[in-house]
Amino acid sequence: MVLVLASRTRGLAPCLVGALSLTLTASLAGAVTIKSGRAKMGSPFEVTVVAPDEAKAWGAAEAAWTEIDRIEALISSWRESSETSAVNRAAGGDPVAISKELFDLVTRALKVSRLTEGAFDITFGPVGRLWEASAETHRLPDEESLRAARALVGYEAIELDAEALTVRLAKPGMRIGWGAMGKGYAANRAVAVLRAAGASGGLVNAGGDLVAFGRQEDGQPWKIGIAHPLEPDRIFAFFEIEDQAIVTSGDYERYVEIGGERYAHIIDPRSGRPVRGVRSVTVVCPDGELADALATATFVLGVEEGLALIDRLRGVEAMVVDAEGRIHYSQNLESFIRETATP
Ligand code: AMP
Ligand code: MG
C-alpha cells in the first residue's frame, strides 16, 4: 500500500511506501512506529518515529515539535518578535546582535549564494513582495517599482561581524527571509532531536521537504515514492534511503497568473523576475537544509546550469522537470532510484 506523507498540493510529493498502515504499528523486533502531524511554518509537517517503545517514540516526537516551534520563533519574518524581524527592522541602521544560531544560518546561506553565483539569495524579499502584490492586483509590477526593489536585493550587502556576532543589512528597505531554506533547517534540527531522544529511525516531512534517518522498524531502509509531476496520482520513482533528505522546489499550486501567464514564487534575484522554464526540482543529499537551498537555486539556474552545479557537488543528486514536462537527471541519481516506471 501507499501512504502519502506529503500534502498532495506539491507537484513532486514524496510519499512513504511500505508497512506503515496505522498510526501505531508494532514489529516483531519490538520497535514501534508512530506518526504525528501538525501545521508549522504555514505548511503541513509530519514526524514519523521508530523507537524501542511507544512512550519513547511519543516523547521524541514531542521534543521534535518543540524544536520546530523554537526555530519558527527564531527565523520567521512574519513574527515581529523573531531575530529575523529585528534584523529587517534595522536595515540601513546599526548592526544587530543575534544568536550564534542565526549568525551561523546566515553564514551558511551566504555560502550557498556564492556557490550559486547569486541564484540563491535570502535578500530576495523586496522583489518577492512586488510579485506577491501582482498576484492580488493581477497586474505586472511596473518597471520603476521593479528597479527600486531590485536595488535592495543582493547578498553582498549583508554585513557579518563574527567577533561581535552581529548582522547588518547595508541598505534601508533590505530584508532577509528563510522561505527557501528554513524548512530544511527545521527538518535537520528535528531529526537531531529525535536521535538524541532515543529514536532509532524516523522521517521529518517539513511541508514536502523530507529528511530520513536510520531505518524502518523492520530494519528496511525508507522507501520514498515520488509522484509523477504531470500525474500526481502516479508514482514514477522510488528512492531507497537511510540518512538522506529529499526536497522539492516548485509546487505547481503556488504560482501567480497574470495575463494568462504563470509566474513561479521563486525569484531570479539577478533579473528580479519569477523563474520560468522549470516546473520542479528535487534534490537528494544527506543534509536537509542544503537540499532545500540547492533545490531553490537549481530551480533558478535552470536545467543545464543547475544540473552542472549539482554534478560538481559530491553526494548531491537532483532531478529537474522542465516547462515541457521533460525530466532531467544528475549524473548519479540512478544509485538512489530503485524502480522507475516509464514517465
Ligand atoms: P522553496 O520552495 O524551498 O524553493 O522556497 C521558495 C521560497 O523561497 C519562496 O516562496 C520565497 O519565500 C523564497 N525565495 C524565492 N526566490 C528565492 C531565491 N532566489 N533565493 C532564496 N529564496 C527565495
Ligand atoms: Mg528551497
Number of the ligand 1 atom closest to the C-alpha atom of 268:
19
Q: What is the pLDDT of residue 79?
A: 97
Question: Would you say 180 and 293 are in contact if contact means Cβ atoms under 8 Å apart?
Answer: yes
For the chain, give every domain's residue range.
83-169
Distance of alpha carbon 161 from alpha carbon 275, whole angstroms: 33
CA 108 to chain centre: 14
Domain 83-169 coded CATH 3.30.420.40: no
- Nearest-CA neighbor of 112 among 188, 17, 178? 178
Ligand 1: residues with CB < 6 A are 120-122, 124, 128, 177, 179-180, 249, 265-267, 269, 292, 295-296, 300
For 65, other C-beta atoms within 10 Å of its C-beta total 17
- Tens-digit pLDDT profile for residues 224-239: 988 776 777 888 778 8
For 332, other C-beta atoms within 10 Å of its C-beta total 14
| Most ligand 1 atoms within 8 A of CB, residue of 266, 270, 275, 278 to mutate | 266
Q: Select the more confidently predicted residue: 342 or 168.
A: 168
Q: Give nearest CA residue, ligand 1 atom 1.
A: 180
Distance of alpha carbon 292 from alpha carbon 298, whole angstroms: 10
- Averaged pLDDT, 242-271: 83
| Most ligand 1 atoms within 8 A of CB, residue of 43, 108, 152, 265 to mutate | 265
Local structure of 8: helix, strand or coil: coil
Set of cell numbers at residue 89: 527592522
Indicate the average pLDDT of the chain: 88
Phi and psi of 261, rounded to 5°? -100, 145
Q: Which of 9-23, 136-150, 213-227, 304-318 has the highest mean pLDDT?
A: 304-318
In single-letter form, the type of residue at position 276 comes to R
Set of cell numbers at residue 114: 556564492
Confidence of residue 213 (pLDDT cuts 50, 70, 90): very high
The helix (H) or strand (E) run that includes residue 111 is: helix 100-115
- The Å distance, Cα 12 to ligand 2 centre, comes to 14
| Most ligand 1 atoms within 8 A of CB, residue of 251, 296, 320 to mutate | 296
Confidence of residue 41 (pLDDT cuts 50, 70, 90): very high
Q: What is the pLDDT of residue 158?
A: 98
Find all residues with CB under 8 Å of 270, minimum gap 6, and list them. Answer: 118, 119
Cα three-residue angle 215-216-217, rounded to 5 degrees: 115
Q: What is the pLDDT of residue 231?
A: 76
Q: What is the pLDDT of residue 232?
A: 73
Q: What is the pLDDT of residue 263?
A: 78
- Averaged pLDDT, 179-189: 98
Instruction: Quote the pTM value.
Output: 0.91
- The region of weakest confidence among 4-8, 76-80, 169-173 is 4-8
Number of the ligand 1 atom closest to the C-alpha atom of 183:
3
Q: Which ligand is nearest to the CA of 124?
A: 1
Number of the ligand 1 atom closest to the C-alpha atom of 184:
3
DSSP structure string for 148-199? HHHTT--GGGEEEETTTTEEEESSTT-----TTTHHHHHHHHHHHHHHHTT-
Find all residues with CB under 8 Å of 343, minimum gap 6, and list them. Answer: 228, 230, 236, 327
Q: Which of 54-63, 273-282, 319-328 has the highest mean pLDDT?
A: 54-63
- Nearest-CA neighbor of 320 among 341, 301, 293, 338? 301
- pLDDT of 199 strictly over 60: yes
- The Å distance, Cα 186 to ligand 2 centre, comes to 12
Set of cell numbers at residue 331: 549524473
Number of the ligand 1 atom closest to the C-alpha atom of 299:
4
Number of the ligand 1 atom closest to the C-alpha atom of 208:
2
- Averaged pLDDT, 205-217: 96
| Most ligand 1 atoms within 8 A of CB, residue of 105, 124, 188 to mutate | 124
Phi and psi of 142, rounded to 5°? -75, 160
Residues found in the chain: 343
